[in-house]
A and B are shown apart, each in its own frame.
Chain A
Amino acid sequence: MDPSDTFLQQLTEHQTQLKGFILASLGHEADSQDVLQRTNLVLWKKAGEFRTDAAFLPWALGVARYEVLAFLRDRQRDHLIFDPDVVELMADAAQQQATELPDRLRALRTCLRQVPKKNLQLLNLRYVHGQSIRQVAEATGRTDDSVKSLLLRIRKRLGQCIEQRLAEQSD
C-alpha cells in the first residue's frame, strides 16, 4: 500500500483522538482548535517520515503534545485554563486514555440511547449548534442555573454509564 494512502486515511481516522487529546490538555475550545490545526500541518509536513508499518497514533500524539507545549511557550496567554504544569499532567492522563477512545465512543453510543428525547434535544443545542448555557437558557425559556445543572446531571449520568460499560468490557 502506498505511504500517502495510509497517511491520509490515518489522519482522517485519528482526528477525533487528536482533538480529544488536545482539548483534555488545554481545557479551552478555541485554543484546542488552533493547536489541532498546527498539529495537522506538522503531520502533513512530516508525512514523508511516516512509516506505514509504524503505529500512527503514538507518533501523532507525540507531535500533538509538542504542539501543545509550543503553544504554551509561544504565547503569554492570560486566558489559559490550565497552568503549564497542569497542562503537562493533563496531557499524560489524556495520552493514556487516547488508545481507549474508540471503546469510549462505542460506550457513549450505547449510553446515548438511554438519554430521554427531551434531554437529547438539550445536548443537541449545545453540541451540534454550539450554544452557550446562556443561549440554551434563552432558547428554552429556563434560567442559566437550571440549564447548567440539568446539563451536569445528564453528563454525569452519561459518564457513569460509559465508565460502567468500559469496566464491563475490560473484564
Chain B
Amino acid sequence: MNRHDSHSQKLDELDSLLLDALDGALSNTARERLNTLLRDDASLREHAAARLQEEVLLREELRTAEVAHLFDDEMPLPLHIELPEPEAYGSNHRWRWFAALAGCVLLAAAVRLVLVQAKTTPRALPDGLIAVDDQDNRFTVAQPDRLAVITRTINVDWQPNSLRPDMSGTLGPGHLQIASGLLQVEFFSGARLILEGPADFQLVSPMQAVCHYGKLRAMVPPQAHGFRVASAAIDVVDLGTEFGMQIDQDGQGEVHVLDGQVALRDPTGQADEQLLDDGAAVRFTSNGQFHEITSNRHAFIGDAYLSQLEANHQAQRYQIWHAESQKLRADPAALFYANFEDSDPTNRLVHNDAANRLTSDGAIVGCHWAQGRWPGKGAIEFKRISDRVRVNLPGRHRAITFVAWVRIEGFDRWLSSLVLTDEWRQGGLHWQLSDAGEIILGVHGHGNHFSPQVLSPADLGRWIHLATVIDPGTVTHYLDGRPVYTKRIRHARPFELNAAELGNWTPGPSITDNRIRSLNGRLDELGIFSRAFTDEEVAAMFAAGAPG
C-alpha cells in the first residue's frame, strides 16, 4: 500500500469517527483513536476543522433554503444575501437611539439573548411538536437558579443596581431595590409577596428572603409554610397564612400577623423563639428588642387595593397606547393597520383602521375574538390549523415594516405564520416564527433572515412586540422594541404583497414541505407599512403598547 492510499484511508476513517462523534455514538476506543489521529497529523486536523465548520455551514445553508422551499423549482439556490459596499448603508440615524441606551439595558438585552438561547434545544423531529408539558421542565433545568417570578408591577422606579427580572419576569438570587412603586413577587415555593418601595429586598431561595428595608405583605399557602423573611434584627417564619412587615433603613420596624401564625426568631440564636397569632403585632428595634403594639392590617397593601391600583394603571396604559395607535392610523404609509378595538364577536371582519384606507378590511376565517392586552381591548385568536385572516395588499413598495403585538400560546410545528403572502411568488414576503424562537423574514428571490433564538418557552402566553423592517439596504428584526438582528442587503426589486394571510398560509401546489404554518396564539395589533420604521419608532410603539 503506498503512502497516498494510507492517507486517504485515514481521511475516510476520520470522517467516519467525526460523524459518530456528532451523532453521540462514539465509543471510548474510537474516541481515543480520533484523538491520536488528530494529535499526530496537522493535515488531518485541517481536514477535521474544515469538515466540522462545513457542518455549521450546511445546517445554516440548508435551513435557510428549506423555509423558502428548496425543492420548489422556482426557487433554486443560492438564497443568501450579497453584501453591498459599506457606503451603501446610509441609515445612520437608526442607531442613535441604540447608542442612547444605558449600558445596563444593553446588557439586559444581551443576557436575555443568551439566556433564551440556553433555554431552547434543537428540534428532534421534522415538523416536530414541542410538547407543552415538556416546556416548563426545560425552562427550570436550563435556569437552575431561578427562584421567583414578578407577576405585577405598578409604577416601579428601579434603583440602578437592582436585580431586574428577565423579560419573562423571573428572578434569580439577588437584591430587588426599588425607589418607589409596587411589585408582586411569587416565589417558586408558592409564597407571594406584595412589596412597597422604597425597599431593598434580597431573594435567597424559594423559601427564604431578607428584607433590608421596605414594606411587604406576605401571603403564604400551606405548601410554603416555613417561608422565612430575615432581617438584621429579627427573623419572621410564617406558620400560618399572612403577615405584614415594615423595616426602616436604620433596621427598626414592625411585624403584623394578618392571618394565622408566625414565629419571631432572634437571628443570633440567643433569644427564644416567640409565636405571634392572628391580630397581633410587634415593634422591634435594630438590636432585636421588641414589644407588642396594636395591629393595623390596613397599613399593608392587600389584594383588593392592589387590583384597584392595577386597574387604574392599566387604564393609564390603555390611554397611552390609544394615543400612539391614533398616530399609527394616521400614517400615510399604512397599507393595513388593525388595532382590534372592535371586538364584537359577531363581526367577521378585521377593520382596517388606517385613515387612508388603502386596503379593504380583513376577512376572518375560523378565528374567534378574544381579550387583548387590557380588559375590554379586543384581539383575534388563532387556534385551529384552518384559522386565518385574509387580507389584500395591493401596490409595489420599496420598503415594508411589519409590526405586531402577539401572544403565542405554543409553537405547534416548525413555522408559525404572522403575515405570509399567498404561495411563494415574485415580490412576496413571509414573516413568520420558528419553534426554535427565531423571527424569520423570507424574501422571495433573496433568501431568509433568521434572528437569533430570541423567544423561549417562557415567552409563551405573554404579550410580545415583534417588528421587522426591510428596505433596499437593510433587514432588521426587533423584539420588544429592541433590534435583535440587522443585516445589510442589496435588494432593488419592489415588494408586491397582494393576497396574503395573517396567522396562516395558502401555499401553492408545488410546495410539498411545511405546508401547515398556522399560528397558535392571539393578535391584538398589526400594522403593515410601506416605509421603513426607524429604531426610535419601533421602540416608541413598544413603549406605548407594553401591557405591564
Contact = CB atoms under 8 A, between A and B. Distances in A.
A81 B127 CA distance: 30
Given A86-B38, A94-B53, A124 B124 contact: no
Interface string B46-70: 1011111111111111110010001
B110 A86 contact: no
State the main secondary structure of chain B at its contact with A: helix
B321 interface: no
A8 interface: yes
Interface in B234-287: none
B223 interface: no
B22 A27 contact: yes
B19 A152 contact: yes
Contacts of B124: 130-131, 135
Contacts of A101: 53, 57
Contacts of B292: none
Interface in A44-84: 44-45, 47-48, 81-83
A132 interface: yes
Interface stretch (B129-137, B297-305, B342-350, B485-493): B485-493
Nearest to A152: B15
A164 interface: no
Nearest to A89: B45
A86 B31 CA distance: 12
A24 B61 contact: no
Given A12-B485, A37-B117, A109-B61, A94 B125 contact: no
Nearest to A85: B39
A5 to B, nearest CB: 4
Contact of A97 (B53, B123, B125, B483): B53
Nearest to B47: A159
Given A83-B35, A109-B77, A129-B125, A41 B111 contact: yes
A29 B56 CA distance: 10
A109 B51 CA distance: 15
B103 A48 contact: yes
B16 interface: yes
A148 interface: yes
Q: Which of B25, B45, B96, B103 has the most CB of A within 10 A?
A: B45
A129 B52 contact: no
A4 B106 contact: yes
Interface in B435-491: 452, 483, 485-488
A20 B53 contact: yes
A109 B65 CA distance: 11
A113 B76 contact: yes
Contact of A124 (B66, B96, B485): B66
Interface string B513-539: 000000000000000000000000000
Contacts of A82: 34-35, 38
A124 B52 contact: no
6 nearest A-B residue pairs (beta carbon): A44-B110, A20-B53, A5-B95, A93-B49, A129-B126, A24-B52
27 contacts: A2-B96, A3-B99, A9-B488, A16-B56, A16-B60, A19-B56, A20-B52, A20-B53, A24-B48, A24-B53, A27-B52, A41-B114, A44-B114, A47-B106, A81-B21, A81-B31, A89-B39, A89-B45, A97-B46, A108-B57, A108-B58, A113-B76, A120-B70, A130-B124, A131-B125, A133-B25, A155-B51
